[in-house]
Chains A and B, each alone.
Chain A
Amino acid sequence: MTTHLHEMLRGGQAWSRRVARHQRLRLRDVEGRACVSALFYNARDPIERYNMPDTLKAQFIAFLTTGRVLFSDMGRVLCSIVADDCGWHDTISGIGGADAAAARFGEGSYQTLRNEFHRNGRDNLLVELGKHGLGKRDVVSNVNFFVRVAVGDDGALAWIPANSRAGASVELRFEMDTLVVLSNTPHPLDPDARYHPPPVELLLGDGPPAPADDRCRLSRPENGRGFALTEAYAVEMGGRL
């Protein structure tokens, strides 16, 4: 696999990049306890974006792991989860903002802390989205890689500690050219009152397209229809997604 990018996302750092159809992005939780908040957009037409409810409804799930796909609001598959040794990635509990970060971690300004300042998920996403002409209207329900928030029978949310261990990784295969926006910042339900988000390794490379017997394609008939719509869109776009 040709490697296009291999970098360490520091604790607190934001990131965005266009990732091409059939490329693979691996995220690795180097030390454990990471939270990488993520949003996904059609790189050519970002009005099409990750849709949490459609992803959950199509697959009858409330979390993400191997064999599952991330749907856009247009019925297409943005990316597939082809490998995951963490086991549970959250997509229902959102990101935190500046007020919540200040309440939890105390004052953490750039003036005082320089580049160790307390960046938060919402502000990080807004900064990266701004680089692509996007903004508040484009912040939708996101994915939180390496995070598990459980839902009880009564609907109550519970933060699950130690969901991710050191070295755990998740690998995404992109089915469309996608703008990926990441924020490596503490999850708002994590009770840890110290600001010390761990580093996350990013590895981007080429890979083969989904074969006919692909696990993500076949895990649900809904996913097969999502791949069919995605492949029809590739034709519509002249093979260039």
Chain B
Amino acid sequence: MSFRMQESALDPRQAAVDVTLPAGQGWTHELAPGDTFRIVDLEGNQAVDTLFFNSRDVDERYSATETIRAQGNIYLSTGTRLMSSEGRSLLTIVADTCGRHDTLGGACSAESNQVRYALEKKYMHNCRDSFLLALARYGHGMGKRDLPNNINFFMNVPVTPAGELTFADGVSGPGRYVEMRADTEVLVLISNCPQLNNPCNAYNPTPVRLLVWPKG
């Protein structure tokens, strides 16, 4: 696949939100229509597990299957409309210097780590725990039912024509970013992935930078 590289003209000094999220932490934030949201992979090859909701009706949420069907392709990049369970665009990716992002790999959990690696791995920190804590703090009755399968920004999960699925080394690098414009009122939910058992974070989970520019 030709990776769809697209730079942004926005200046981080003009951003209204500019936070650094360490690995292993969750984050929620509400975007207004027209806001621009950027995730920067500061040190490279860091998976950023992300979900989006219509913040006015959180029953409408990001759908991986609607998104890949709408564009006829499993990889997300510039131009991808991030579709909701109701078939509407929640956000559109407007810039991307990584070029390919995953939406089939889902999030790690204590229980999936037990299955994938060893029963003794249950104690290890994982994305679902970060999601659950972030949703508990956000409130509004949101919880495990509100965790459909997510986007993994900067993660590379190739699928072959024979139907094999693998976790490959990252295609990202230090300073690469993905930027999207909110098409409606959006709740962002992020887990900056703490996974240490596979190459999704190059075995070294690192911080990411999150920026928001209000509609100009």
Interface, chain A (partner B; CB < 8 A): 47, 51-54, 56-58, 60-63, 71, 73-76, 88, 92-95, 97, 99-100, 135-142, 150-157, 188-189, 222, 225-226, 228-229
CB-CB contacts below 8 Å: B60-88 with A:
60, 63-66, 68-69, 72-75, 85-87
Please report the C-alpha to C-alpha distance between residue A136 and residue B86 in the assembled complex, in whole angstroms. 10
Cβ of A157: which chain B residues have Cβ within 8 Å of it? 68-69, 72-74
Question: How many pairs of residues, A versus B, come closer than 8 Å at their CB atoms?
Answer: 134
* Contact flags B97-113 to A (C-beta < 8 A → 1, else 0): 00010001111010110
Question: How far apart are the CA atoms of A47 and B144 in the complex, in Å?
Answer: 7
- Please indicate the chain A residues that have their CB under 8 angstroms from the CB of B64 in the complex: 94, 141
User: How far, in angstroms, from A93 to B93 measured CA to CA in the complex?
Assistant: 21
Subset of 28 A-B contacts with CB under 8 Å: A51-B112, A51-B149, A52-B104, A53-B107, A54-B106, A54-B112, A57-B112, A61-B164, A62-B104, A62-B165, A63-B163, A71-B112, A71-B115, A75-B111, A94-B64, A94-B66, A94-B69, A137-B59, A139-B85, A141-B65, A141-B148, A151-B74, A151-B159, A154-B1, A155-B100, A157-B72, A229-B111, A229-B114
Q: In the complex the two chains form, is B115's CB within 8 Å of A229's CB?
A: yes
Distance between A33 CB and nearest chain B CB, rounded to angstroms = 19
Main secondary structure on chain B at its contact with chain A? loop
The answer to whether B65 and A92 have CB atoms under 8 Å apart is: yes
Assuming A61-B165, A136-B59, is B69 touching A188 (CB within 8 A)? yes
In the assembled complex, which residues on chain B have CB atoms less than 8 Å from the CB atom of A228? 119
Q: Is B68 a contact partner of A52 (Cβ separation < 8 A)?
A: no
Residue in A47, A140, A152, A189 whose beta carbon sits within 8 Å of that of B148 in the complex: A140
Main DSSP-derived SS at the A contact region: loop
Tell me if B166 is interfacial: C-beta within 8 Å of chain A. Answer: yes
Complex Cα spacing A135 to B58, Å: 13
- Chain B residues with CB under 8 Å of A93's CB are 65, 68-69
Given known A71-B115, A75-B112, A229-B115, contact A60–B166 (CB-CB < 8 A): yes
Question: Which of A74, A136, A156, A226 is in CB contact (< 8 Å) with B73?
Answer: A156
B43 part of interface (Cβ distance < 8 Å) = no
Smallest distance from the beta carbon of B205 to chain A beta carbons, Å? 18
Query: Are B115 and A156 in contact, with the CB atoms below 8 A?
Result: no
Q: Indicate whether A155 sits within 8 Å of B112 (C-beta atoms), given known contacts A57-B105, A189-B69, A229-B119.
A: no
Please list the 6 inter-chain residue pairs (A to B) with the smallest Cβ-Cβ separation, ordered nearest first. Answer: A53-B106, A94-B65, A75-B111, A154-B1, A155-B75, A136-B59
Within 8 A of A (CB), among B129-162: 144-149, 159-161
B215 beta carbon closer than 8 Å to chain A: no
A214 to B104, CA, bound (A): 28
Please name all residues of chain B whose beta carbon is closer than 8 Å to the beta carbon of A58 when the two chains form the complex.
Answer: 112, 115-116
- B111 contacts which chain A residues (CB < 8 A)? 73-76, 229
Kindly list chain B residues whose C-beta atoms are within 8 Å of the C-beta of A136: 59-60, 85
What is the bound-complex CA distance between A154 and B100, given in angstroms? 11
Provide the residues of chain A in CB contact with B2, threshold 8 Å: 154
Per the bound structure, the CA–CA distance linking A95 and B107 in Å amounts to 21
Question: How far is B65's CA from A157's CA once the two chains are assembled, in angstroms?
Answer: 11
Specify the chain B residue showing the minimal Cβ separation from A189.
B69
Q: Are A140 and B149 in contact (CB under 8 A)?
A: yes
Contacts A51-B106, A53-B105, A75-B115 hold; do A155 and B159 have CB atoms under 8 A apart?
yes
State the CA gap A157–B74 with chains docked (Å): 7
Q: Which residues of B contact A56 (CB under 8 A)?
A: 104-105, 165
- Chain A residues with CB below 8 A from B73, complex form: 154-157
Give min CB distance, B215 to chain A, whole Å.
Answer: 27
Contact (Cβ within 8 A) B163 A62: yes
Q: How far is the CB of B75 from chain A (nearest CB, A)?
A: 4
